[in-house]
Structure 1
């Protein structure tokens, strides 16, 4: 897992960490049961505060994407696949809404957008 922190980003550092770990889990790069770096180790590797990494892990735990085991560390949750799929679908819907708004700014019709999407889908 490779986490990159950007000082130019408007997102707080803990959000950047959270988003990148979440993406690794939802994309399948990290699997249920995989261990995550300790809070202290991640803070050291990223050269950020332990409080920052702790907050990122706490938020991921609230989302049920990771589990904390006292004395053992943090692990990718064994949450059921339907829950993870639902989280992924939610993020996809947000991106689609952004595309719809952008297409409306370009005065594209619904038909044109669907045609363009179909073409790109077939090429991919």
Structure 2
């Protein structure tokens, strides 16, 4: 798995987390697969070890990665479906907030749906 850092893509540690998460969801990374060491990844990406450490810690918090002292970091055996479920939960919460805001400002459902399509379609081009 190659991690690609984009200068306009948000914090680097978040880009690392997102790309590892997506690789697990796509089946590119499976239970037991090792991740590069924090130092090796930092060197490859030309970023601080602190950045890769922060990414790996976030991946551990999400239950995607397990780190073992002296052995390295590995993809956990958890079902990748839990990642999708968590993503759906977060999307639903964000959508509920957006709909509440739209209603407060009198924005019609058709306009909201068009905004979502525009945002979603624009993400394909990144």
| TM-score between the two structures when normalised by the length of structure 1 | 0.69
What is the aligned partner in structure 2 of residue 31 from structure 1? 30
Give the Å deviation of 1:79.
Answer: 1.6
Count of residues in correspondence between the two structures: 108
Give the Å deviation of 1:85.
Answer: 4.0
The answer to whether the 8 A contact 1:26-1:88 is kept is no
- Aligned equivalents of 1:2 and 1:82: distance in 2? 22
What is the aligned partner in structure 2 of residue 119 from structure 1? none
The answer to whether the 8 A contact 1:37-1:74 is kept is yes
Q: 1:90/1:107 Cα in 2 relative to 1: closer, same or farther (>3 Å)?
A: closer
| TM-score between the two structures when normalised by the length of structure 2 | 0.68
What is the aligned partner in structure 2 of residue 121 from structure 1? none
Offset from partner CA, 1:52-78 (integer Å, 9 cap, x none): 001000011011110001111000111
| Runs of 5+ consecutive residues of structure 2 not aligned to the other structure | 115-126
3-state DSSP class of the match of 2:6? coil
- Aligned equivalents of 1:106 and 1:4: distance in 2? 38
Q: 1:39/1:82 Cα in 2 relative to 1: closer, same or farther (>3 Å)?
A: same
